[in-house]
Amino acid sequence: MADLEQDEKPACYKERGSFLSDRQITLNVRLDYAEWSDAHKHIQRTAVRVPAYGATLVPFRWMLRENAYDIAKELGIDVSPEREPTDPPFLARTDWVQNHDNQQILLDAFAQQCVEKESLVFFYAKRTPLADDDRRVIVAVGLLSHKGKVEQYDYDTKAPKGHLRAMMWERPIQHSIRPDNNSPGHFIGGIVLPYHAILERAAKDASLEAPQFLACAPDEARTQFSYASEHVSHGVAITSLLACKTALERPSKHLTGPWQKQIDWIDEQINRLWKLRGPCPGLGSALSALEDGFNGTLFALTLSASLSETDDPWEITDKIFRKKLSAPSGAPKLTAMLRKRWEHLHKEAPKLAALLRLLSRFELTRDQAVRWFEKKDLTDAVLENSICFTSAIDMNLIRSGFGRLIAASSRLMTY
């Protein structure tokens, strides 16, 4: 594909289909409006250089106006609808954030949570030849090795003063997956599911059912595997890696390959995710349920930066709310009313306080946490159920099956 002219390259070239290419590729990105809007004619086609074994992050969901301002409020970032252009008039009617500053703040906020040498990168497909359904199929998983910058488009030197500006949304990244020189056709530094080999084998063996070899993202996490690029929560990442592990265990009976090496890599990532996930993955959502308008997510994010692996986020949160510790830098303000409510909850309504703490143990959205916290008539039953559950099941079994447990719990909490 590198030898083709830009206009001859297939769509997959831009859609991250070259993520295993061993050479740098160049995408010549063009803002669609510049093709027909006089107000955008000065915005030029601009090169984005994607490194070998790389791709681009494009967080479409974050750039939709229906989501952008809620995301900004949740993260405490300065994105304002007041900045959005209204000339030409069609810009005010589009679905997308148009202001250059708003775009850059959102794009950088998305990338800030992607940590080099630590964050996992899941490559997925919406459709494959292996099954006739719309599940999100995981194709490969690696670590984020490097993340680049987003840049402005190039502008015509004759552009009018005060011209419209725009950011390119494509951020180049590089991942850790590389060919395994000791096992041609296989990879190290991550996993690539052997779908091509399975298709070839299935063409020769009619008894082989190709769909059973797919690794699919959990249905309840569909949003996290949509809109091109999106963040994946720790719980969903664990569940997705378990699906990959199962999918790799099956071909070992039909295909030769270093499957155990790849399974070991998955186990290593799952163990690491358990530590990163911590004991209170829903702390931010639970705190948001405590008082309408309090940004619990931002509090949890700022707190997590200062925690060690042995720290209990809930205990430290309690000390902060009681003024025994200082709030982390960048945390939302704890009002006197909020501190008073925290104190009242623990003294006068200990069961509700226990419910709030229990909710922090689950990977819930803010709305899910609010709904359960407001079901005060169910508090006794929920707490009793949690006590019976933890006393009846060996904790080692809970740990070994927790990826599926969290997925099931998330589904239950949704309804």
pLDDT tens track for 160-181: 888 999 999 999 999 999 999 9
Beta bridge partners of 173: 55, 147
User: What's the pLDDT at 262?
Assistant: 92
Which has the minimum average pLDDT: 1-15, 163-177, 196-210, 291-305? 1-15
Residue 44 Ramachandran class (φ > 0 left, ψ -120 to 50 alpha, else beta): beta
Residue 415 reports pLDDT greater than 50: no
Read off the pLDDT of residues 71-101 as tens digits, 9 standing for 90 and up.
998 888 999 999 999 999 999 999 999 999 9
Domain boundaries, the chain: 6-273, 283-414
> What span, in angstroms and rounded, lies between the C-alpha atoms of 362 and 275?
15
Backbone angles phi, psi at 173, to 5 degrees: -135, 165
3-state secondary structure of 16: coil
User: What distance in Å separates the CA atoms of residue 170 and residue 159, rounded to the nearest whole number?
Assistant: 23
Give the separation between CA 348 and CA 38, rounded to whole angstroms.
65
pTM, 2 dp? 0.79
What is the tens place of the pLDDT at every residue in 377-396?
Answer: 666 666 666 655 444 444 44
Report the Cα 318 to chain-centroid distance in Å. Answer: 28
**DSSP 3-state percent helix, strand, coil across the chain (nearest 5):** 50, 15, 40
Q: Which amino acid is at 337?
A: M
Q: β-pairing, 187-188 with 25-29?
A: unpaired
Beta-carbon neighbour count of residue 389 at 10 Å?
11
CB 356 within 8 A of CB 313: no
